[in-house]
């Protein structure tokens, strides 16, 4: 069970899991620091950049928060300060802790940080890396998305929705397929909500649009419905109402 501990100084504040580490400092969130130690294996693509770091608690993902869309041109990686407990990294860190407590398959939170400057702050999050995993988008590109995998995705989403976990950006890039099972990742702006048909269906529509955009309906809408979407919805409904 996670034990949340907080460290504050003039540069900002850090939340970390004290069951994993006795202390976390700002160097943990600096890719250059890991590079100097030869512990930065890879920087992958994606908004804001993602680094895989080799730490004393195993391989972790270091993610820097970065805005997307049109506002990114103005704000970049800065966010308006509205309080520590409402900051993006702290809310995601705590949501991941709740996901773990409920036994749901999400990333394990290690540490989160904000660095405040006046009215704005920048932020980072460290989670345990899920080994030997591919995104659902990668599986689709490799021709591995079939009815069986679609059912597993439906069951995954159903478990989170049944628990009232709302994912703000449910798409094929945020579903991981690993040897140990399926996971949802990237819970930035996610939150606990009372289960309700409206937001659950909106989440599913977002996932559907993502799959179609990535080419899941390449053999035609009817084939997509029969082989992918209906199996996904079937297991989703069975899981949601179990």
Q: In this prediction, what percent of the chain has a pLDDT beyond 70?
A: 95
What integer pLDDT is reported at residue 72 of this predicted model? 63
Last residue of a domain, one of 128, 150, 180: 128
Same domain? 189 vs 94:
no
Are residues 28 and 116 located together in one domain of the fold? yes
Confidence of residue 73 (pLDDT cuts 50, 70, 90): low
pLDDT category of residue 210 using cuts at 50, 70 and 90? very high
- At residue 77, does pLDDT exceed 80? yes
Total domain count for the chain?
Answer: 2
Q: Which of 34-38, 65-69, 230-234 has the highest mean pLDDT?
A: 230-234
Residues 123 and 143 in one domain: no
Instruction: State the pLDDT at residue 42.
Output: 73
Of the pLDDT bands very low, low, confident and very high (cuts 50, 70, 90), residue 173 is very high
Contacts of the segment 172-176: beta carbons below 8 A, 24+ positions apart: 172/135, 172/136, 172/137, 172/140, 172/207, 172/210, 172/211, 172/214, 173/135, 173/136, 173/137, 173/210, 174/135, 175/135, 175/136, 176/130, 176/133, 176/134, 176/135, 176/136
131 has pLDDT over 80 = yes
- Mean pLDDT across the chain, nearest whole number? 94
pLDDT above 90: residue 234: yes
Domain boundary among 105, 128, 151: 128
199 and 149 both lie in a single domain: yes
Q: In the prediction, which pLDDT does 193 show?
A: 97
Element (H, E) at 223: helix 221-224
Across residues 211-216, what is the average pLDDT? 97
pLDDT, tens digit (0-9, with 9 covering 90-100), for 218-229 = 999 999 999 999
Last residue of a domain, one of 109, 128, 147: 128
Position 49 pLDDT exceeds 80: no
Give the residue ranges of DSSP H helices in 68-216.
Answer: 72-75, 88-101, 136-141, 147-162, 197-213
For helices 230-240 and 197-213, angle between their N-to-C axes, nearest 10 degrees = 150
User: Which of 7-21, 73-87, 91-105 shows the lowest per-residue confidence on average (mean pLDDT)?
Assistant: 73-87
**What value does the mean pLDDT take over residues 202-208?**
98
Q: Are residues 169 and 219 in the same domain?
A: yes
Whether residues 120 and 190 fall in one domain: no
Are 147 and 229 found together in one domain? yes
Residue 76 has pLDDT above 60, yes or no: yes
**What local confidence, expressed as pLDDT, does residue 67 receive?**
83
Q: At 166, which CATH number?
A: 1.10.510.10
| Distance from the Cα of residue 50 to its chain's centroid | 12
Would you name the residues annotated as active-site residues?
169
Task: Indicate if 78 and 163 belong to the same structural domain.
Answer: no
Q: Are residues 122 and 140 in the same domain?
A: no
Taking the model in full, what pTM does it have?
0.94
Do both 188 and 213 map to the same domain?
yes
Domain check: are 31 and 109 in the same one? yes
Residues spanned by the domain of 200: 133-240
């Amino acid at each position: 069970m996670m034990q949340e501990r907080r460290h504050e100084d003039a540069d900002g504040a850090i939340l970390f899991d004290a069951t994993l580490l006795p202390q976390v400092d700002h160097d943990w969130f600096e890719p250059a620091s890991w590079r100097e130690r030869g512990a930065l294996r890879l920087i992958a693509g994606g908004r804001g950049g993602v680094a895989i770091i080799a730490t004393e608690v195993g391989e972790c993902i270091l993610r820097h928060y970065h805005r997307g869309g049109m506002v990114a041109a103005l704000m970049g990686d800065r966010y308006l300060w509205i309080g520590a407990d409402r900051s993006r990294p702290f809310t995601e860190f705590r949501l991941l802790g709740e996901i773990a407590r409920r036994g749901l398959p999400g990333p394990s939170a290690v540490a989160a940080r904000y660095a405040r400057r006046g009215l704005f702050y920048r932020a980072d999050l460290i989670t345990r890396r899920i080994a030997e995993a591919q995104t659902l988008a990668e599986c689709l590109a490799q021709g591995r998305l079939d009815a069986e995998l679609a059912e597993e995705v439906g069951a995954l989403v159903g478990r989170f929705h049944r628990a009232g976990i709302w994912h703000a950006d449910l798409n094929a890039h945020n579903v991981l397929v690993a040897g140990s099972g399926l996971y949802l990742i990237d819970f930035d702006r996610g939150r606990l909500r009372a289960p309700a048909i409206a937001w659950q269906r909106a989440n599913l529509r977002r996932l559907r649009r993502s799959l179609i955009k990535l080419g899941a309906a390449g053999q035609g809408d009817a084939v997509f419905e029969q082989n992918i979407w209906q199996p996904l919805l079937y297991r989703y409904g069975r899981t949601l109402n179990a």
